Amino acid sequence: MSVQEKVDAKGGATENNDRNVLSKVFGGSVGRNLGLVIALALLVVVGAVTAGDRFTNVDNFLTIVRYASVIGVISIGITFVIIAGGIDLSVGSVMGLSTVVASLTAVQAAATQSSWLLMVVVALAVGALAGLINGIVIAYGKVVSFMATLAMLVGARGLAELFSERRTLIVSNRDFLAFFRSDLLGVPILIWMFAVVAVLGWFLLNRTTFGRRTVAIGGNMEAARLAGVKVNRHLVWLYVLSGATAGIAAVMMMGRTTVGTSTHGLLYELDAIAAVVVGGTLLVGGRGTIVGTIFGVLIFSTLTNVFTQNNLSTSVQAVVKGVIIVIAVLLQQRFAARPGGRGGRSKKRNTTPQLDSAAQQQSA
Amino acid sequence: MINVDHGTPLLEVRGLTKSFAGVQALRGVDLEIRPGEVHCVLGQNGAGKSTLIKTLAGAHRPDTGEIVWRGETVTLDHPTEALALGIATMYQELDVVDGLSVAENIFLGHEQATAGVYHRRSANRTARELMTRLGHASIAPTREVGSLSPANKQIVSMARALSHDIRLIIMDEPSAVLDSEEVKNLFRVVRELTAQGIAVVYISHRLEEIREIGDRITVLKDGASVASGLEVADTPTHELIRLMTGRSVENVFPASPGVPSGADVVLEVNDLSLPGVFSDVSFQVRAGEIVGLAGLVGSGRSEILETVYGARKADGGTVRVAGKTLPRASVTAAVEAGIGLSPEERKSQGLLLDEPIYRNVTLSSFQRFAKLSVLDERRERALAREQIDALELRPADPDRRTGTLSGGNQQKIMLARWLVHGTKVLLLDEPTRGVDVGARAEIYALIRRLADAGTAIVVVSSEIEEVLGLADRVLVVAEGSVLATVDADAITEHGVLDLVMKGSAA
């Protein structure tokens, strides 16, 4: 019982303890993500040693982050869904569908008449609408999120093929391309977008009632419901949020590739989930951080870059990715078990090790 | 009464200590178990009962101390070693697999098989014998365990223990999930086991049960045995409470000052029905009044509370709070109208165990403190701290993770939640389940204080004595209908049971 009596040295000092600045930094999300910082630093060292100047220059770092930005935006949306105990498998397809719809000839023509922002609005609306459907089916139809979003994954991809007639749609709107290919203060606009989404996501999760409800639902849905939280309505909003971030990712992707196609975003859902989980968010819900997710995304994109710089095949890359995911989750379980890690599971681990290791693996 | 060989105890534990990460969970436990006895281990939450059990089960290794099994010193490094010696443990959380059959559960981990092919026939036969031995021949070995009641799952768990050749069975609060009828059956089974020479270590909060079933008692306090091997028959209850708490608890139930005659009716329930569960339930609760629902498990008492709260959809009838009719099946509307529920299963229905105390305290009201959806955590913490002080919640740290608190303190968090929210009507389902004896008196006093401050309260408990002790007025419920409404001082536990029996017969 009293296993956890020990003072919460790290985990207790969450976002907002009134301690000094130092402990705030190290006890906060950065401290809890120390393992991720180390992993990323190691990758950078490996990159610098193996690829030298080709790796360690500002342009390459910007490339890494730019590469991370599309998947990063999706991952931030999906982080909310996973913290709430759900899953969204449809984000990749929904992103593909959004790129197709936003680059349809009719939409592009209308955008030329009015403003390139129309394409952005259309992409966001498509994503949010797909999320809305997911949310309604899950919250009110009581379909498990895995199945509901798996159906959307298949359906949205098919719809994208139908709309595009399996052709690649060229984005010809000059203003649109000009904006998404521009730089601000020497940093590509895609990175800025990722940063803005990340900051907004962090704020939403940690400082707003929306975030509190998300964590409460993931921690104990029944308790949240009986406390008066409008669980169903919130679930719908969560999937709308996730869909909308897929829409944002869609315009970023169109900007980067200058095309809309039904093959955009293929398997992105898995990359995003991997990044979120590596970032320390529990698949069973109730606990997770935006900062962790950002690290997860950066780790994978740095890895890709290091491999590319060394001319290694994508197959080797895939194998290493798999290994990293397993190691990350294994390490997390070790560290989450420390007193002070805010984990309910950690307490149970200490008292009933043999029973709980199974539950841990399920959650991983 | 005890008619066994006193010469060699079955199990002797001497000076057992165990610490986790610097926290001393056991600081010297002595325990002696004789063959064929029911040995009760008593202690408040956090006294070290669970750690002791797990040490005996081989799940924890003690730091120091000695475990002597039938005259020989043993070390138990793994649960299978304890089982091999003949020590089986039934944990509080039933460890049966819902998707498997009764027989498959019983032989889980020691399946009889040839080259991996499972001997279904002989397993079923043995399972049937075991279930018959436990007085449950009617449960077929092929039945899926998920379809059984908690009481019957417990029987399966016990059958699993007996499928090993055991001499000692440890039961961790076996009665927690049972109603009084099922407890009787449990006791019958326990007596049969002891008649066969098997010793039982029985853990329970309920002193009356220990009186009924126990032979001897060991009392734990703060990780140490403060009394070992007391004869149940020679030890008065107040002495046990004194040993457990270190103080004597008298007048457990606070006196009711009586409801002022002019008090407003706050909660009005008219002809509320839930098909197949209860029908035409009507009652009123005035400000400052505590109304108790007394009845057996399955009488519909919890469902009545949940339906009033909107967590279940009523088929007919109305619920009015301060004159305003609530929409059906909307918890949110109920909460906004000023009803609060402390649910039966605090951990699974009430609390976010991973979250800090203050977030549980403000779970129903954090939105009110937010400005433009931005949380005001400073205010939330301050309010939580006020409640922590007012309710004497321990530890007094709003940032402490809720899951680490004792049952009594977790119950206080539930009360604090509704206090912060400013609740007019409080529905309490089993307010002292899993709360130890010492903390119960505190919870009772707290409930009374809330009533005195003008809250209308409805209490449901499987302990009729608790309902009678707390309430001003009692509704006797059986099979989904209200049989009688009486003043709490005008009826006894026997009177309630009489009514229930008559109601069931009619």
Q: What is the DSSP string of B309-373?
A: TTSS--SEEEEEETTEEPPTT-HHHHHHHTEEEE-SSIIIII--TTSBHHHHHTTTTHHHH-BTT
Question: Taking a C-beta distance cutoff of 8 angstroms, is the pair B186, B171 a contact?
Answer: no
* Residue in B closest to A352 by C-alpha: B59
CA angle A138, A143, A149 (to 5 degrees): 65
Assess whether pLDDT exceeds 70 at residue A31: no
* A210 contact residues in B (CB cutoff 8 A): 373
Q: Do A192 and A139 share a domain, yes or no? A: yes
Give the predicted TM-score (pTM) of the model: 0.73
Cβ A286–B354 below 8 Å, yes or no? Answer: yes
Q: Do A88 and A168 share a domain, yes or no? A: yes
- Looking at the complex, does the CB of residue A229 fall below 8 Å from at least one CB of chain B? yes
Q: Do A223 and A160 share a domain, yes or no? A: yes
Q: What is the mean pLDDT of residues B449-467?
A: 89
Q: What is the pLDDT of residue B386?
A: 92
Which residue among A14, A344, A351 sits closest to B353, beta carbon to beta carbon?
A: A344
Which residue among A339, A343, A355 sits closest to B354, beta carbon to beta carbon?
A: A343
Q: Do A202 and A337 share a domain, yes or no? A: no
Q: Average per-residue pLDDT in chain A?
A: 83
CA distance A180 to chain B (A): 31
Tokens representing A324 are: 């990293």
Which residue among B50, B363, B404 sits closest to A216, beta carbon to beta carbon?
A: B363
* Cα–Cα distance, B85 to B106 (Å, whole number): 18
Question: Taking a C-beta distance cutoff of 8 angstroms, is the pair A127, A95 a contact?
Answer: yes
Q: Do A141 and A261 share a domain, yes or no? A: yes
Q: Average per-residue pLDDT in chain B?
A: 86
Question: Strand, helix or coil at B128?
Answer: helix
Termini Cα distance of chain A: 25
Q: What is the mean pLDDT of residues B348-357?
A: 92
For B11-245, CATH gives 3.40.50.300
* Tally of domains in chain A: 2
Tokens representing B359 are: 């977030």
Q: Do A260 and A147 share a domain, yes or no? A: yes
Q: Do A126 and A214 share a domain, yes or no? A: yes
- Domain ranges in chain B with CATH number 3.40.50.300: 11-245, 251-256+263-338+459-506
A148 lies in a domain?
yes
CA distance B355 to chain A (A): 8
Assess whether pLDDT exceeds 60 at residue A343: no
ipTM field: 0.76
Q: Do A271 and A335 share a domain, yes or no? A: no
Task: Give the model confidence (pLDDT) of B305-328 as tens digits.
Answer: 999 999 999 999 999 999 999 999
Q: What is the mean pLDDT of residues A276-291?
A: 89
* Residue in A closest to B331 by C-alpha: A228
Q: Do A357 and A214 share a domain, yes or no? A: no
Task: Tell me which residue has tokens 């000695």.
Answer: B66
A233 lies in a domain?
yes
Which residue among B23, B363, B400 sits closest to A227, beta carbon to beta carbon?
A: B363
Split at pLDDT 50, 70, 90, the class of A102 is very high
Q: What is the pLDDT of residue B457?
A: 95
Assess whether pLDDT exceeds 70 at residue B155: yes
* Cα–Cα distance, A178 to A115 (Å, whole number): 13
CA distance A291 to chain B (A): 19
Assess whether pLDDT exceeds 80 at residue B80: yes
Q: What is the pLDDT of residue A331?
A: 74
Q: What is the pLDDT of residue B504?
A: 56
- Looking at the complex, does the CB of residue A335 fall below 8 Å from at least one CB of chain B? no
Q: What is the pLDDT of residue B472?
A: 93
* B94 contact residues in A (CB cutoff 8 A): none
Q: Do A194 and A254 share a domain, yes or no? A: yes
Assess whether pLDDT exceeds 70 at residue B2: no
CA distance A290 to chain B (A): 17
The DSSP element (H or E) to which A191 belongs, if any, is helix A189-207
Q: What is the pLDDT of residue A364?
A: 33
Assess whether pLDDT exceeds 70 at residue A363: no
Assess whether pLDDT exceeds 50 at residue B92: yes
Q: Which are the contacts of B38, defined by CB distance < 8 A and separation ≥ 6?
A: B190, B194, B199, B200, B202, B213, B214, B215, B216
Specify the fold of B251-256+263-338+459-506.
Rossmann fold (3.40.50)
Task: Give the model confidence (pLDDT) of B371-385 as tens digits.
Answer: 889 999 999 999 999
Q: What is the pLDDT of residue B77?
A: 87
Is the pLDDT higher at A358 or at B174?
Answer: B174
Last residue of a domain, one of A239, A257, A291: A291
A35 lies in a domain?
no
Termini Cα distance of chain B: 41
* Cα–Cα distance, B305 to A226 (Å, whole number): 12
Maximal C-alpha separation, chain A: 68
Q: Do A162 and A114 share a domain, yes or no? A: yes
* A17 contact residues in B (CB cutoff 8 A): 399
Tokens representing A360 are: 């841990």
Assess whether pLDDT exceeds 60 at residue B414: yes
Cβ B406–A210 below 8 Å, yes or no? Answer: no
* Residue in A closest to B335 by C-alpha: A228
* Residue in A closest to B59 by C-alpha: A352
Cβ A6–B353 below 8 Å, yes or no? Answer: no
- Looking at the complex, does the CB of residue A24 fall below 8 Å from at least one CB of chain B? no
Q: What is the pLDDT of residue A255?
A: 92
Task: Kindly report which listed range (A110-119, A355-364, B201-210, B482-491) carries the lowest average pLDDT score.
Answer: A355-364
Task: Give the model confidence (pLDDT) of B39-78 as tens digits.
Answer: 999 887 667 888 898 899 888 889 999 999 988 899 888 8
Instruction: Kindly report the three-state secondary structure assignment for every residue of B365-391.
Output: CHHHHCECCECCHHHHHHHHHHHHHHC
Per DSSP (E only), the strands in A167-254 are 169-170, 183-184, 187-188
Q: Which are the contacts of B26, defined by CB distance < 8 A and separation ≥ 6?
A: B16, B17, B18, B19, B48, B51, B52, B55, B62, B65, B223, B224
Q: Do A240 and A153 share a domain, yes or no? A: yes
* A220 contact residues in B (CB cutoff 8 A): 348-349, 351-353
Assess whether pLDDT exceeds 80 at residue B506: no
* Residue in A closest to B23 by C-alpha: A3
Q: What is the pLDDT of residue B360?
A: 94
- Looking at the complex, does the CB of residue A85 fall below 8 Å from at least one CB of chain B? no
Q: What is the pLDDT of residue A70?
A: 95
Assess whether pLDDT exceeds 60 at residue B271: yes
* A241 contact residues in B (CB cutoff 8 A): none
Determine whether A275 is exposed, middle or buried from the number of CB atoms within 10 Å of its CB (0-12, 13-18, 19+). Answer: buried
What residue numbers bound the domain in which A3 lies? Answer: 1-12+313-364
Split at pLDDT 50, 70, 90, the class of B22 is low
Task: Kindly report which listed range (B155-159, B325-329, B431-435) carries the lowest average pLDDT score.
Answer: B431-435
Q: How many CB atoms lie within 10 A of CB B487?
A: 10
A52 lies in a domain?
no
* A225 contact residues in B (CB cutoff 8 A): 311, 331
Split at pLDDT 50, 70, 90, the class of A17 is very low
CA distance A127 to chain B (A): 24
Split at pLDDT 50, 70, 90, the class of B164 is confident
The values of phi and psi at residue B160, to 5°, are: -60, -45
CA angle A234, A240, A241 (to 5 degrees): 90
Task: Kindly report which listed range (A127-136, A236-245, B40-49, B406-415) carries the lowest average pLDDT score.
Answer: B40-49
Tokens representing B333 are: 């509307």
Task: Kindly report which listed range (A137-146, A200-209, B106-115, B330-339) carries the lowest average pLDDT score.
Answer: B106-115
Assess whether pLDDT exceeds 90 at residue A201: yes
Q: What is the pLDDT of residue A85?
A: 94
Mutate to test the interface with A, among B97, B355, B394 (most CBs of A within 10 A): B355
Q: What is the mean pLDDT of residues A216-231?
A: 92
* B350 contact residues in A (CB cutoff 8 A): 223, 226
Q: What is the mean pLDDT of residues B359-372?
A: 91
A285 lies in a domain?
yes
Task: Tell me which residue has tokens 């996501």.
Answer: A201
* B417 contact residues in A (CB cutoff 8 A): 227
Cβ B348–A223 below 8 Å, yes or no? Answer: yes
Task: Give the model confidence (pLDDT) of B116-130 as tens digits.
Answer: 777 788 888 999 998
Q: What is the pLDDT of residue A337?
A: 43
Assess whether pLDDT exceeds 50 at residue A350: no
Split at pLDDT 50, 70, 90, the class of A190 is very high
pLDDT over 90 percentage in chain A: 54
Residue B418 DSSP code? H
